[in-house]
Structures are given as structure tokens and as C-alpha cells.
Amino acid sequence: METVEMNSVSLKHPRSEDDVANADEIKRQKILEKSKTGNDSGQSIETVTEPPEDMKNEIIPNEESEEQEEEELEDSDEDGDPESFADMMKHGLTESDVGITKFVSSHKGFSGILKERYSDFVVHEIGKDGRVSHLDDFSVPVDDEVNLEDPSEETFTVLSDEDKQRLEELQLFKNKETSVAIEVIEDTKEKRTVIHQAVKSLFPGLETKTEDRDGKKYIIAYHAAGKKALANPRKHSWPKSRGSYCHFVLYKENKDTMDAINVLSKFLRVKPNIFSYMGTKDKRAITVQEIAVLRITAQRLAHLNKCLMNFKLGNFSYKNHPLKLGELQGNHFTVVLRNITGTDDQIEQAMHSLREIGFINYYGMQRFGTTAVPTYQIGRAILQNNWNEVMDLILKPRPGAEKGYLVKCREEWAKTKDPAAALKKLPVKRCVEGQLLRGLLKYGMKNIISAFGIIPRNNRLMYIHSYQSYVWNNMVSKRIEEYGLRAVPGDLILKGATAVHIEEGDVDNYTIHDVVMPLPGFDVIYPKHKIGEAYKEMLVADNLDINNMRHKIRDYSLSGAYRKIIIRPQNVSWEVVAYDDPKIPLFTTDLDKLEGKPLPVLPTDGKFRALKMEFSLPPSTYATMAIREVLKMDTSIKNQTQLNTTWLR
């Protein structure tokens, strides 16, 4: 097996958006969501199967209007002129900047368009039982018991928009009212029952009663358990024989997992933290994954299929447990690379190599950010306990692709070092920069540690994990350069959860697929060869002690781990198809099959050729790194935008 240095390979623009073509659809989505609930909240071209830690997101009721305003601002300049975007991305990162420099296959690289359409990238989650999640059933399970949580169709229309607004304000304690009265226009027992049912099912935490007032019937809604009811949806009306969690399959298009859950929570008027899942999926793709939600009925969830665009819910079941991050076995990918230039022989060599050898298990470009200040630099400053540099790296002006208001905020900060003045330039205050500035206002410029602590924990840990990934990428490139694609004495392998060194006499018992490399941190061991010393040298150069990775702030103490050098995908298959129209789909999705849509008839001799590939990957691996190995390309946005500024509209 041969190790090949990375070459500069032309790649058509992988990020050419369908967004303009879908602009009307996106606008309808926003209008619909706002009319129902008030607001909605992207991930770049990478797809990672590794779930971020503690990915919980709560909506603060008194910030809802601000959040809505921020979303409008965030979306307003998402698509700019492609050439100006490419020009800004000249300051971004390339793969070599983060240690991604080697290939393991020997075929000649060729070009292709990655994610020309988001529907060219489909991800199906693989559960811990090995079952691949599919959306193939919209039916709702029937219980032996009937309860008020099972709403009828009339439940969703019996309340006026004004009633819903007043009830939501009551539910979230946004006003001084202790109850809301809804007049029963058609006074029948059946009508009153539907209103009672609608209030209780749509607004967890509220109870109702009927009152006579001046000869008219009113349904009175009130809080049964105070603020505790918001955090603990209504337990008393849930059938004992039914599992507490409704599990369902979420099919989504061009929307990331947390955005989808935020939208669902707003339509259901519940907090996002009652949802659980096994892994996050990226935005620019079609993804299918399992979600669990506490004490929300399948009926209510199924109704959302009539209200929402870009995603569908199905395959409902009731279970007694939520889902946990990391429980998944992996993900199955279906990827189309359009307008490929490789010969049939090159493609066969590339795909055979992917199936038989695999690819270097690099952390993909998503891990490091897209601007001139990589996330790993901030992580390094945190580990160095250099808090002034942390603040400076996050807030200082930087070249590259940035929203206009962020540019103004950074300029103000550079000029005044006044957090209040910089914050005034920043309408989107929930971003990292806004959160840090609010922290500096609250705790003062001399307490940067506490100010930084206002940023959500998951975002803070992202920085130090980025630094770990940066070190690992560089070290694995050195390891492959030094020893090639074979196991050598001093390498590390895992026996259970324990890493041990390969001894001289045992080396023939192992292959490169058994070898792991450590992520720097405490309680890990390093290879007993040149790469072990290279780890120490790299950390010394960064003013860090490899033997003392404990930080005085516990959250920032790096716990070590081990990661396989080479990943060999499973269930690899591929075919080359011809097509004429770049806008037509080249395979059917789960939703297409449910709706009975036939696959377009493709020409046998079209103007373009596409490579359709399928493969399964375990958690903590990046699909784009597998595709990189096939195409022999630099997957950074910087490289791709420079190579192609023709965007598919």
C-alpha cells in the first residue's frame, strides 16, 4: 500500500446553493412558522457523525422577540454575490492548515461537485441495534386507553390566534393575568369538551374549568402547578400503560437537528430540552434520524406534518426511555458527486481503495471554523490559561467571510475596548461574540474567565476539542509519513477500553486498521516511537505540558481518548449515472417513496456523469474525509470557492 502526498486537484464548487431556487419555499416556511409560534433559528458542507457533548438548547421566554429579530438578521445576508464570497474566503483555512496532508490510495484524483444540491447528500442514522432509520410510515399507534392528550383534528382549529397568544403568554408567565377566559360561542357539551381538550393538549401546564358569567359559558384556563408545570409536562393525564416517550423518525431537508427541534418545540409550545436524540445531523443534506420526546402524543406530532415544510415526522411508537447522545452505531450515507471527470478506471480504483483500505480518519474542516481565526487557536489559548488572548481572538477584527454587523462590532471593540459600545453594534446578541460581551458587561474586564463562562458549555468545549483535533490531525499525518500504512512496534492498539503498545514480536498480528492514536489529555499513553516525541514537541511549542493537561478550571481539563488512524467504511457500493439536467434528483428519498414519486428517467448517454456512492461510517468520523480520499481534493471552503464561482441557481 502506498502513501501519496496531497496534490492540488480542481473541484467544482461544492456549496452551490439551491437556496435561491427555494427562496419562495423558505419564505413560506418563515411566514408559516411566525404565524404559528413567533420564530425559528447551519452548518457548512461537512457532515460529522460525532455528536457534540451536552447538546441542549433552551428557549428563554423573555428573549423570544429578540430571538425572532435575530433570526431575520441572520438569514438576511446568508447568500451574497458568489465572487465576493469567494474573495472573502481567501482568508479561510485550507486542509494543510489543520494537518490534513496525506492520502492512502494510489489512484489519480479527479473532480466532481459535492453537494451541488443538498438532496445529493442523504444521511440515515444507524441505531445501536444496527437498524437503519427510515421514514416509511405516517400512521399513529392506537392505545387501549383514550386520554385528553390525544387531540382530534378540531383541537388544532377551535382556538383563535388571539386565544392562542393569550394562552401562550399565560403559560409562560409573560403577563400578570392568573387566568384566561374563552367564551363558548356554540354552547354545547361537545364544543366545551373540544376547547378543554385543545387548551390542555396545546399548552402543557394549564388546567381548565367551565364558568357561567352573565348568562354566558366560559372556559377558564389557569396554572395548576405554577412554574413547575413548564418544566414537567402534564403527568396526570398520561395513560399508565403507555411509555412516557414518543419516539419518531425525523426526516429533514436543509435544516440542522437543533433548528428542527427548536421549530418543533415552538409549534408544540414546549421547551426543546424535552426532546432527545442520539446524534446531530448537519444542515445541507437530507437526513433521517430517531427523536424521542417526553409526553407528547403521536397525534400532536403527526399533525405537524400539515404545518411544517422541509421536514416530516413518522414511524411513531411509545417507549419508556429517552435517547442518549452517542448511542448510535453510526450513519449510512448516500452521496452523489456530479459532473465527475474521472475515467471509469480511475473511479473503480478509487472506490475499491475506499472499500478495501479506507481513508485517514482526519477531523474534517467543520471542526476548525471558516474564518481567519481558527477555533483551535482559541482552544489553545484556553488551555494556556491566556484569557486576554481568548477575549482578543473572539472579538478582534478578522479578514474573511463575516456578517456586516459582526464587522462593525469588531471595529468598535478594537477602537474602544468598551463592551457596551461594541454590543450596541451587534443586533444578534445570542452569538458567541454577543454572549462574551454581555459577560464582560456583567463581570468586568478583569474577570474574563467568568465572562467567558456565560457562553454555553458546549460552545466553550468546542474550542478545546478543536485544539485536540488539530494536534491529532498533525500527528496522524506525521505517523503515516514516518511509518506508512503498516503496524509497527510502539504503535498503540485498543484491548477493550485500554490502549497497549505493540511489541516487536507481535507486530505481524496487527494491521494499520488496528492502530489508534491518542487525543492529547490526561490519562492517555503515547506511541513508543518517534511520534510519541512529536506529540511532546508540538505541545511544548504551544507552551503546554503533555504530562499535565489538567486545567485549574475543571471543564477545561482535557480528558484524553483514542482514535483509529484508518477507517474502512462498511456497505460500500457505487454506480456511475449519466444525466442532462443538473437540477433533477438522481435517486429517490424516503419521502419520495412514501409519496409515490418515480425516479426521473435518466439518459443512457447524458451530457454529464455522476458518481453515486453509498457507505456506512461509525460515530466520530467525517463523510467528507471519505469523499476527499475518492476525489483527492482539498475539502476546505477556501479552496473550493476559489476553484469555482459558478453557483447553481
From the candidates 40, 120, 256, 282, give the one annotated as an active-site residue: 282
Query: Which of 482, 527, 530, 478 is closest to 503 using CA atoms?
Result: 527
From residue 462, alpha-carbon distances to 31, 262, 369 in Å are 33, 21, 10
The residue assigned the cell 395548576 is 224
Amino acid, res. 10? S
Cell numbers found for residue 126 = 444507524
Residue 103: which residues within 8 A CB-CB, separation 6 or more? 3, 4, 5, 6, 360, 629, 632
Considering Cα of 131, then 134, then 139, then 143, what sign does the dihedral take?
Answer: positive
What is d(CA 87, CA 97) in angstroms, rounded to the nearest whole number?
Answer: 18
- DSSP 3-state of 206: strand
What is d(CA 170, CA 174) in angstroms, rounded to the nearest whole number?
Answer: 6
Cell numbers found for residue 79 = 447568500
From residue 297, alpha-carbon distances to 44, 151, 243, 303 in Å are 33, 8, 10, 10
Task: For 388-404, give the DSSP string.
Answer: HHHHHHHHS---SS--H
- DSSP 3-state of 273: helix
What is d(CA 382, CA 379) in angstroms, rounded to the nearest whole number?
Answer: 5
Q: DSSP letter at 292?
A: E
Contact 275, 264 (CB under 8 A): yes
Whether 282 is a known active-site residue: answer yes
> How many CA atoms lie within 13 Å of 630's alpha carbon, on the beta-carbon side?
33
Q: DSSP letter at 132?
A: B
- β-strands 561-564, 492-495 pairing: unpaired
Residues belonging to the active site: 282
